A and B are shown apart, each in its own frame.
Chain A
Amino acid sequence: MDFFNLQPEEAQALLLTLKVAAAALAVALPLAVLIAFVLARYRFTGHGLLNALVHLPLVLPPVVTGYVLLLTFGRKGPAGAFLDKFFGVSFAFNWTGAALAAGVMAFPLMVRPIRLSFEAVDPKLEEAAKSLGAHRLVTFLTVTLPLALPGILGGAILGFAKAMGEFGATITFVSNIPGETRTLALALYTATQTPSGDLAAFRLTLIATIVAFAALIASEVLARRLRARMGDGNA
């Protein structure tokens, strides 16, 4: 066995993890940006409720979140049955379910920094944009969003990391099926449960560390470029 080559099941777990995390991010990030903007800029009845709802997965035991997902989006759950019947989308025991669990768990971690970055954008700049003729959506796209971009990037990275490492909700909701829902974290758990799985567990740990490290460095480079484009003097 060549130490430096990935075993087929390792490659499978790694690719699946990246796929699950990317899908979770692609769906959850736009929604997180929207919710964060609403929470940052508007005051309405139910503001506190929405805020609590968003943060619920952060404080609930992951197993509870996974179980709630199973009850709602499982084959017999109301949302699951509806989506299956009308759109042919099923979350039960497949990788999309893993992505859903990862996205839900990562959501509050994304909303927080994004909301903070929206709150840091001076509303007076938005007033200035409007006085120059820009409508609300244009103002958002040309002023608010670009200025909040560093925070959005931060939220995305945090969310991606959380999605990659999600364990409790995933295993409860979609189980631990090789090639379908067995991500790196689940594969590592499986290895630790197997006699003589020490080497496999060590290798998976190494892979996870390398991926996380690469993501961190990439995000740092990206953030630096972003700040330079924002005209930040100390970039």
Chain B
Amino acid sequence: MLDVDITGRVGTLDLEARFSSEAGVTSLFGQSGAGKTTLTNMIAGLIRPRSGRIAVNGTVLFDAEKGIDLPVQARRVGQVFQDARLFPHLSVRANLTYARWAGRRPETRDLDEVVRLLGLSGLLHRKPRTLSGGERQRVAIGRALLSDPRLLIMDEPLANLDQARRNDILPYLDRLCVEAGIPILYVSHSIEEVARLSNTLVILSEGRTPAYGPVAEMLARTDLGRATGRHEASALLEGTVTAFDPDWSLTHVDIGGASLQIPDRIADPGEAVRLRIRARDVALAVNPPEGLSIRNAFAATITSISSETGPYAEILCAVGGQTLRARITRASVADLDLYRGRQVTVLIKSVAIDRRQRAAIPAEANRDAN
């Protein structure tokens, strides 16, 4: 769907990026200065790569060897910038429809539908200056969506917002990622957003792309600690809501081989959800413990133990067909005599899986897209 293999140099940054991803949401993850914006600007056509090739859904946007270099206007890459970049002299409605009246792009998507999807109906006649940061960002997303894009790039759309605003806009992003029907490249340095929204994860580090692949697989890899940020290490579990217990306000989620209890009503029974479990929230026991406040305890098999020299060890456990990640001290590994293949009991506090660690599952593949 999205094939990138380019090199280029901007300032002191040497970029050499290579990845390809399937439909759905691809996250480009990296620390500040890793070259994320440079890479997206090359894909959008704002910066010219030195060499290589960029293709979206089989359409070549750039190919140095064949001399193809579509100008920005012709690439049909919708961009949502960190700073929204709404046209201050135009109303929200004129901003949203800019690509139609100024860019001569066809009306492939219904304005009313986008307005509903992003909750913009009350804002149409306002000027950008009177909008809040979250509202501006939603308008910017709508404007890009209505430009008949073949790819949507979102460059840290939440970076300039405070946590409250982020929580306002995240549900819209969830829905967008499920319903957009076009590939989305989501740039972020927040593993939380990445885990929540994406299908494919591309890691960018110092201008290089050391690894890319399905997001759950990537998060389970222990060799990418430096690039993903140590304290953020986590695993993704996908499951189905089986019941909601109103007496204790807990949702029961079946993850295949075990059932988890999660605070609050997160979805209706039967719905698929994705849970992000941070490695530091997971504890291991060799015998099933008793008399604990921890509600989530289930059997798992150790599949890997990292061999590091610091105080910590990263342990991967298989539960059903999924992988869970635990960070415990190396001393514990020695004391409990943990080894590959050993059966253990996994303990997760329910309260660790709070609102920010879960979301509806993004569309696995937008089969009918383009």
Contact = CB atoms under 8 A, between A and B. Distances in A.
B87 A134 contact: no
Given A129-B102, A142-B102, A231-B127, A135 B85 contact: no
Interface string A107-126: 00000000000000010110
B99 interface: yes
A76 B76 CA distance: 57
Contacts of A233: 129-130
B77 interface: yes
A134 B88 CA distance: 17
Given A231-B128, A232-B129, A233-B130, A130 B72 contact: yes
A127 interface: yes
Contacts of A143: 87
Interface residues of B, number: 31
B87 A135 contact: no
A132 B130 contact: no
Interface string B264-295: 00000000000000000000000000000000
A231 B81 contact: no
Nearest to B85: A128
Contacts of A134: 73, 98-99, 102-103
B72 A127 contact: yes
Contacts of A128: 79, 81, 85, 87
Nearest to B98: A132
Contacts of B89: 146-147, 229-231
A122 B98 CA distance: 17
A206 interface: no
B143 interface: yes
Contacts of B73: 130-131, 133-135
B78 interface: yes
Contact of A133 (B46, B88, B99): B99
Contacts of A122: 85
B105 interface: yes
B81 A133 contact: no
A131 B128 contact: no
Contacts of A89: none
A122 B85 CA distance: 9
A26 interface: no
Q: For A134, A138, A146, which residue has the most chain B Cβ atoms within 10 angstroms? A: A134
Contact of A131 (B72, B83, B88, B130): B72
B104 interface: yes
B26 interface: no
A132 B143 contact: yes
B171 to A, nearest CB: 25
Interface in B121-154: 127-130, 143-144, 147
Contacts of B45: 131
A124 B79 CA distance: 12
A143 B98 CA distance: 10
Interface string B44-57: 11100000000000
Given A230-B88, A231-B88, A133 B76 contact: yes
A127 B102 contact: no
A131 B129 contact: no
A133 B130 contact: no
A127 B46 contact: yes
Given A131-B73, A131-B75, A231-B88, 6 more contacts: A131-B77, A131-B78, A131-B144, A132-B98, A132-B99, A230-B89
27 contacts: A127-B46, A127-B72, A128-B81, A128-B87, A129-B87, A129-B102, A130-B73, A131-B72, A131-B73, A131-B79, A132-B102, A132-B143, A132-B147, A133-B105, A133-B147, A134-B98, A134-B99, A138-B102, A138-B103, A146-B89, A147-B89, A229-B89, A230-B88, A231-B89, A231-B129, A231-B130, A232-B129
Interface of B: 44-46, 71-79, 81, 83, 85, 87-89, 98-99, 102-105, 127-130, 143-144, 147
